[in-house]
């Protein structure tokens, strides 16, 4: 099962593989070289397919817990000053996604979208300290009954050149529902109220919509 954001790219990649394979069969006489070309093309197609995979998952909604918005590895847990929306101190939990992770972004909590903004920017590597403020990114705030306003930020990286954000101000959203997609690797930051109990550790691997990252 593949995510809708990958349909065009998968179709294009499949056509390219078919065309180049046919051309290789026609014009490349050396069977070893020809076989190598075709195998390489198939591997590249499989990489594209795995990137846009949308594995079937069964979600449990946790009204008093914050779930990881993406698959990946926890790379930041710290108290920071969030200056775009809150203008005060928050607990930041950041999850880095490699190219082999599932790249669907899910709502970490349910509630009402009160802020959603796209910011053009640079493409620094996702673990760069300034990537959260200088890279292309989208910032979304969900007003939740338990946690109040919860902010999450999709951040582009050196490879990620396209951020898709479905959140629109005024929408009522359900925890774990698709909220966006980051194409070709990056990270997501979640900003929580001071005093929130963090339920993950640095370098822990997490799953979007599954792993509990914080409790009230």
By annotation, the residues acting in catalysis are 186
The answer to whether the beta carbons of residues 51 and 162 sit under 8 Å apart is no
The answer to whether the beta carbons of residues 114 and 153 sit under 8 Å apart is no
d(CA 177, CA 180): 9
The answer to whether the beta carbons of residues 14 and 5 sit under 8 Å apart is no
Which residues does residue 115 pair with via DSSP β-bridges, in sequence order?
Answer: 141
Q: Which two tokens stand for residue 113?
A: 């979208």
Hey, CA dihedral for 160, 162, 167, 169, is it positive or negative?
A: positive
d(CA 170, CA 103): 25
DSSP run (H or E) holding 47? helix 31-51
What region, left, alpha or beta, does residue 143 occupy, with left being phi > 0 and alpha being psi -120 to 50 degrees? beta
The answer to whether the beta carbons of residues 114 and 142 sit under 8 Å apart is yes
d(CA 194, CA 89): 7
d(CA 113, CA 141): 6
């Amino acid at each position: 099962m593949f995510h809708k954001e990958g349909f065009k790219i998968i179709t294009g990649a499949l056509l390219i593989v078919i065309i180049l394979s046919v051309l290789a069969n026609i014009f490349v006489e050396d069977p070893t070289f020809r076989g190598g070309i075709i195998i390489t093309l198939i591997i590249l197609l499989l990489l594209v397919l795995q990137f846009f995979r949308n594995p079937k998952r069964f979600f449990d909604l946790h009204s008093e817990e914050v779930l990881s918005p993406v698959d990946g590895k926890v790379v930041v847990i710290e108290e920071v000053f969030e200056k775009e929306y809150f203008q005060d101190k928050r607990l930041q939990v950041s999850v880095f996604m490699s190219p082999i992770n599932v790249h669907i972004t899910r709502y970490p909590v349910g509630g009402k979208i009160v802020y959603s903004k796209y910011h053009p920017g640079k493409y620094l590597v996702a673990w760069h300290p300034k990537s959260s403020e200088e890279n292309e990114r989208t910032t979304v705030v969900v007003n939740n009954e338990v946690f109040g306003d919860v902010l999450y930020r999709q951040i582009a990286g050196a490879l990620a050149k396209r951020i898709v954000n479905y959140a629109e101000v005024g929408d009522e959203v359900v925890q774990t529902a698709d909220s966006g997609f980051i194409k070709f690797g990056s990270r997501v930051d979640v900003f929580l109220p001071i005093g929130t109990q963090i339920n993950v550790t640095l370098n822990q691997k997490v799953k979007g919509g599954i792993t509990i990252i914080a409790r009230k």
